[in-house]
A = this chain, B = another copy of it.
Amino acid sequence: MAMKSDIQIAREASKKPIQEIGEKLGIPSDELLPYGHDKAKVSQKFINQVRGNKDGKLILVTSINPTPAGEGKSTTTVGLVDGLNRIGKKAAVCIREASLGPNFGMKGGAAGGGYAQVVPMDDMNLHFTGDFHAITSAHNLLAAMIDNHIYWGNSLEIDTRRVTWRRVIDMNDRALRQITASLGGVSNGFPREAGFDITVASEVMAILCLANDLKDLQERLGAMIVAYRRDKSPVYARDIKADGAMTVLLKDAMQPNLVQTLENNPAFVHGGPFANIAHGCNSVIATTTALKLADYVVTEAGFGADLGAEKFMDIKCRKAGLHPAVVVLVATVRAMKMNGGLGKNELDHEDVEAVKKGCPNLGRHIENVKSFGVPVVVALNHFVHDTEAEIQAVKDYVKTMGAEAIVSKHWAQGGEGAVDLATRVAEVADEDPGNFSPIYPDDMGLFQKIETIAKRIYRADEVLADQKIRNQLKEWEEQGYGNLPICMAKTQYSFTTDPNRRGAPTGFGVPVREVRLSAGAGFVVVICGEIMTMPGLPSVPSAVNIKLDANGDIEGLS
């Protein structure tokens, strides 16, 4: 089967003018702010107008622990929406924007693949509508204003050793991870250690994705902690008086972006916070707006269900008052085999035993999602080499877990290949009894919240944290931050903190290395492993192959 490449398929798409896509959702063309002919922002004015509309059903797509075999979560998200539209449902996609920098390193951040993609892919992997540039600007304005405050007399008495606000850039640039700034003499300020993260790791990104409106955005921006004094009391962004100007810089970026699937169905692509030190979902404003305009909104969360779905439920849904009607858990026969112990090069031959051996990873995720009170449908994303016996093994297993696995062929066939999945997902969503609740209450202690996630979701025996960390959590509770949810940062490859332990391991502890307070975003980050907030480029970055061809089309951006 000679399949075309994703970019070939994307380029051959018959895109409709974005106004026609907006029309499908009842957005008048005056309220769409176009960016070229195939991208638009939905105006804040229109968003305010539809706040009273009835909500559609929210469908979350998540997956088993990712493996190098690839599960196809975004592909399934897009395919499911095309499938829903095929069966006559008014459905829209809600996904994250891609980060610019990593495209020049290893690979593109394509939204979907095969015949289940969102377009225009090139633009979405480059500047798109400029949201990330706006976040970079707002973040770095605050940074410049902090150093400027210190330079002009430091009336806030910031301890220059305790400036926690770093700078950001949307580029993989390891040389900027750790720097000494303000060198060169009196006119350049007071030398101090500093550094850059990649833009998606900015707390401003997390806030943009969690804020309900511009007022909420500004309040959250102002509440960010940027530094500490010698007495360790915090200095906030509002003390620097940066929150107003940052909000102005983010005004347009707060409006969700509308694009389309290959089958001309509406897709909101907005925001892209890290899935480790942040919550890893598209923006609340895009999701809530989409729910006012479509009957079914299909969204996804970063990484596997243990991390992404948990944060989606416990952070995003809790804070935004959202409740998923059904969760679609994506699995593949190949990933089951890898969870069952096979290597990446051993996946092309039938091995029913390996499939069966890997199923418990899927099983645990099914149980976990159900524990939030939400029904589960397993989407078995079809690959060419999958055999009937292997597929049946997964189906049988899923049945024993009280759910249903449905084969979906959207990658090869687009929406037509996802009709069975769409039909069942719509049925389950329509029957949703509305039992959703987060797995821990707001008023539980911070450490108890961490334990709840570790024990109930990961199935760890215990959480290991030294006294310093426990004291820090206590201190935040005393300062009034005790009601915040937890944002876990750990490897996505395993329920444990060891990326090599696949399947459904038991008998392990979760060591906490560090905790960080994101006071503006509104969560406590719990770090259980190495977290890289500024990637580097590989020895041969993909940038060396990215160029315009003779037709002016982009080559090398996958």
Q: Which of A59-67, A130-138, A441-449 participates in binding chain B?
A: A130-138
Chain B residues in 8 Å Cβ range of A218 = 547-548
> Does A506 have its Cβ within 8 Å of any Cβ on chain B?
no
A184-B178, A189-B174 known; A249 vs B126 contact (CB < 8 Å): yes
19 further contact pairs, Cβ within 8 A, besides A30-B37, A147-B173, A152-B539: A34-B37, A104-B145, A127-B134, A127-B137, A130-B133, A137-B171, A145-B543, A148-B174, A167-B176, A174-B182, A175-B182, A175-B189, A176-B181, A177-B184, A218-B548, A242-B543, A245-B543, A248-B548, A248-B557
- Minimum Cβ distance to chain B for residue A2 (Å): 27
A546 lies within 8 A of chain B by Cβ:
yes
Q: Which residues of B are found within 8 Å of A537, using beta-carbon distances?
A: 144-145, 148
> Is A100 part of the contact surface with B, judged by Cβ < 8 Å?
yes
Indicate whether A234 reaches chain B with its CB closer than 8 angstroms: no
Q: Which of A182-203 contact B (CB under 8 A)?
A: 182-184, 187-189, 193-194
Q: How far is the CA of A549 from the CA of B140 in the complex (A)?
A: 23
Nearest to A546 among chain B residues (CB) is: B245
Contact with B along A278-320 (1 / 0, CB 8 A): 0000000000000000000000000000000000000000000
Partner of A548, one of B130, B134, B176, B244: B244
Contact in complex: A248, B127 (CB < 8 Å):
no
Q: Which of B133, B151, B183 contacts A133 (CB 8 A)?
A: B133
On chain B, the residues within 8 Å of A152 by CB distance are: 539
Please indicate the chain B residues that have their CB under 8 angstroms from the CB of A175 in the complex: 143-144, 147, 151, 181-182, 188-189, 194
Interface of A is mostly: mixed
User: CA A242 – CA B547 in complex, angstroms?
Assistant: 9
Q: Is the CB of A174 within 8 A of B145?
A: no
> Does residue A247 face the partner (Cβ distance < 8 Å to B)?
yes
Instruction: With A137-B100, A244-B546, A248-B554 as known contacts, state yes or no: A172 contacts B184, CB within 8 Å.
Output: no
A218 to B556, CA, bound (A): 16
Q: What is the size category of the interface that chain A forms with chain B?
A: 35 or more
- Do the beta carbons of A178 and B188 come within 8 Å of each other? yes
Judging by beta carbons under 8 Å apart, are A104 and B141 in contact? yes
In the complex, which of the residues A34, A136, A539, A552 has the most CB atoms of chain B within 10 Å of its own CB atom? A34
Residue of B nearest to A244 (CB): B547
CB<8 Å pairs between A and B, sample of 28:
A33-B35, A34-B35, A104-B245, A127-B133, A127-B249, A130-B133, A140-B169, A141-B543, A143-B173, A144-B175, A145-B537, A147-B173, A147-B175, A151-B174, A151-B536, A167-B176, A169-B169, A174-B187, A178-B188, A179-B180, A179-B183, A180-B180, A242-B543, A242-B544, A243-B547, A244-B548, A251-B552, A251-B554
Residues of B within 8 A of A104 (CB): 141, 144-145, 245
> Is A420 close to B, CB under 8 A?
no
Query: Given the complex, which residues of B lie within 8 Å of A539, measured CB to CB?
Result: 152-153
**A36 contacts chain B at the CB level, 8 A cutoff:** yes
Decide yes or no: A36 and B37 within 8 Å by CB, A245-B543, A547-B248, A548-B251 being known contacts: no
